[in-house]
A and B are shown apart, each in its own frame.
Chain A
Amino acid sequence: MPTVLEAINQGLHAMMAEDARVVILGEDILDPYGGAFKVTRGLSSAFPDRVLTTPISEAAIVGVASGLALRGLRPVAEIMFGDFLFLAGDQLTNHAAKFQWMFNDQVRVPLVVRAPMGARRGYGPTHSQSIEKHFMGVPGLWVVAPHILGDPGGLLRQATLECDAPVVFIESKTCYGRPLISEVAGMTVTEIADHVSPFPTVLLRHDRAADADGLMWCYGGMVPHCLEAIRHLFDAEGLAIDLAVTSQLSPVPASHIARVVDECHSALVVYAEEASAEHGWSAEILAQVQDRVSGSGRAARHVRIGGAHTPIPSGRALEAATVPGARDIIARVLDCF
């Protein structure tokens, strides 16, 4: 299986070959450098007219991309580190996200902003955050995150060519080098998607438990950690925890959540995210789950797991203690039994 990075790179190559409207712009993306994380490698050699290296100007990168999108192109902008999205925050929230609605649906802004995100690489306070939570909940702006259980290249194609709204595409730095996983032993994988929320949620259910002991929600870079925790909890503790992985972070995929809740009757619901849980993604998912559950489900216990509410330290040991891993998830789940 390809790695996440290879899948995104191949997805970009395929999109550019498929559709001449696709334009890629960002800092240091030309060959031979091919981007700080090498996601755009090979593109400028294959499509020299449609791969534009830019100055260090995040606001202008996203602004220019919005202008391209308003005039009928399909730009994909790369922001070198997700942390730098704040430099383009005005462009995303006051321009790209608003144009379609405030111009009374007479224009479209089919723009993708790719942003490597997350910690565990020792990059410290300003290059390790999971700041997507600040962009979730902005009307008109979509936030989408690929992961190892899905098809990152296909997801990016969907965001670029099938979505007419601006999408912030959150790529976990630590997942770039991980191979994709199409199956998990002892679990059945189902994909949930519909017209309202087209970016799929992946549901993994234990084959040997009709009603599992719990249900876990996560996205993006937390998937490997959650999978590791789930495997350990099943093998060593006999606890069957199902896993729901969203790729559409915003707008909230309420229909997916409803379907998962209806299928999985769990006494324990766990939400795991890498950012601090305070004002986080998990709060919204928890509220949506609460809205949907009925009957005995109302008595379920809800547990949120997130990083420490501090900046991300640079030192390896300090950083490891700040962001949640499999061991933290296992401990919190065992606390509930």
Chain B
Amino acid sequence: MSAPVTAGSPVRLARCDRASSAADRYALLFGIRLFEQSLLDLFSTGVLAGTTHTCLGQETVAVGVVSAIDRACDIVFSNHRGHGHFLAYCGEVERLYLEILGKTGGVCGGRGGSQHLFLDNFYSNGIQGGIVPVATGMALAEKQRGSGAVAVVFLGDGTLGEGVVYEAFNIAALWQLPVVFVIEHNGYAQSTPSALQIAGEVAARPRAFGISTRECRSTAVDEIARHCAQAVDAARAGGGPQCLICYTYRLGPHSKGDDTRPGQELSEAWLRDPLKTARAVLDETTAAAIERRVGAEILAARIRALEATA
């Protein structure tokens, strides 16, 4: 790790919006994948301390959802597994490395770390469910102000066990607030499979409150983006709260080395890796060029962050 580190603005990944090409989307997905894998490496070598929750396998939800928002005004509230959401929102990969490394150049000066990120209209917190009423309140503020902004908040299927989620669903529907609840349904609450922790239907929950609910069973980034665009547009148009359930799968551990899922289940899931699908629509030369370029960006960001003195 002795590549020359040059001065200048922090390394950023290119973001995606609704008009982005398949190549641009793959570049961002690949960047998030490399970033998350590198975090696990940094933990295993003892460079990183504390904890982290990577989104390996769920990158297409992050890129698909966030590419559907209007960054000029919309709000994103993310959770404990938020690096992908954050990078899709702003691309600030070097400053995210710095944050997770606890350095002052991080987006929150090293105070927040992996689970507590803030930049512009992006917020995250590490408490399951607690962010849902906060995002709902933000949507209320924007509605009162008449800004036209929409708040997008990320939940997991595990979050559905928290009662405060339903308090927020109720209020968002009562007051017809411009908020989109995105449930990343990866089938596990940490180590517990959904069958052991969710009674009834997931989609029936928001629908019980009269929340317009879409389900996306595809893990293709374009499909997720299309569904989320519909939800965001509906919320912005005064259609009240929306829910988008994205069925996905976490290819990595919940946290660092705590994966007790059956090996066969995991290897089958890797065969369905959404990044393979995203890569398959590109020709080999294009895909390889993207991987070289993004790989160099991630490496540069990591080296600069590791070499930062404070």
Tell me the bound Cα distance from A233 to B118 in angstroms: 56
Task: Type the 1/0 row for A84-95, where 1 means its CB is closer than 8 Å to any CB of B.
Answer: 000000110011
In the complex, which residues of chain A have a beta carbon less than 8 angstroms from the beta carbon of B167? 55, 57, 59-60, 63
- Cβ contact within 8 Å between B171 and A54: yes
Main secondary structure of the interface of A (DSSP, over half): helix
In the complex, which residues of chain A have a beta carbon less than 8 angstroms from the beta carbon of B140? 64, 67-68
Q: A71 within 8 Å of B by Cβ?
A: yes
- Cβ contact within 8 Å between B131 and A102: no
B76 to chain A: closest CB distance in Å? 13
Q: Given A23-B144, A103-B112, A106-B108, do A63 and B134 touch, yes or no (CB 8 Å)?
A: yes
- Cβ contact within 8 Å between A57 and B134: no
- Cβ contact within 8 Å between A63 and B116: no
A94 to chain B: closest CB distance in Å? 5
Tell me the bound Cα distance from A319 to B138 in angstroms: 42
With CB as the reference atom, state the residue of chain A lying closest to B112: A102
In the complex, which residues of chain A have a beta carbon less than 8 angstroms from the beta carbon of B141? 67-68, 70-73
Q: B207 within 8 Å of A by Cβ?
A: no
Q: B136 within 8 Å of A by Cβ?
A: yes
- Cβ contact within 8 Å between B137 and A66: yes
Q: B38 within 8 Å of A by Cβ?
A: no
Q: Given A59-B167, A63-B164, A104-B108, do A71 and B133 touch, yes or no (CB 8 Å)?
A: no
- Cβ contact within 8 Å between A60 and B108: no
B35 to chain A: closest CB distance in Å? 21
Q: Which of B130, B144, B170, B174 contacts A90 (CB 8 A)?
A: B130
- Cβ contact within 8 Å between B136 and A59: no
In the complex, which residues of chain A have a beta carbon less than 8 angstroms from the beta carbon of B171? 54-55, 57, 60, 64
In the complex, which residues of chain A have a beta carbon less than 8 angstroms from the beta carbon of B116? 98, 102-103
- Cβ contact within 8 Å between A104 and B168: no
Tell me the bound Cα distance from A59 to B131 in angstroms: 11
Q: B109 within 8 Å of A by Cβ?
A: yes
B134 to chain A: closest CB distance in Å? 4
Q: How many residues of B contact A (CB 8 A)?
A: 35
Q: B123 within 8 Å of A by Cβ?
A: yes
Q: Which of B151-179 contact A (CB under 8 A)?
A: 151, 163-164, 167-168, 170-171, 174-175
Q: B242 within 8 Å of A by Cβ?
A: no
A190 to chain B: closest CB distance in Å? 39
B70 to chain A: closest CB distance in Å? 16
Tell me the bound Cα distance from A180 to B136 in angstroms: 39
- Cβ contact within 8 Å between B134 and A95: yes
B110 to chain A: closest CB distance in Å? 8
Q: B125 within 8 Å of A by Cβ?
A: yes
Q: In the complex, which of the residues B125, B145, B167 has the most CB atoms of chain A within 10 Å of its own CB atom?
A: B167
Q: Which of B75, B112, B127, B170 contacts A104 (CB 8 A)?
A: B112
- Cβ contact within 8 Å between B136 and A64: yes
Tell me the bound Cα distance from A253 to B269 in angstroms: 58
Q: Which of A54, A67, A73, A104 contacts B134 (CB 8 A)?
A: A67
Task: Type the 1/0 row for A44-71, where 1 means its CB is closer than 8 Å to any CB of B.
Answer: 0000010010110101101111111111
Q: Which residues of A contact B (CB under 8 A)?
A: 23, 49, 52, 54-55, 57, 59-60, 62-73, 75, 90-91, 94-95, 98-99, 101-104, 106-107
Known: A67-B136, A67-B138. 7 other contacts (CB 8 A): A59-B167, A69-B137, A71-B145, A73-B144, A91-B133, A106-B108, A107-B123
- Would you list 8 pairs from A and B whose C-beta atoms are within 8 A, ordered by A residue? A62-B133, A63-B134, A63-B167, A67-B136, A95-B130, A103-B118, A107-B118, A107-B123
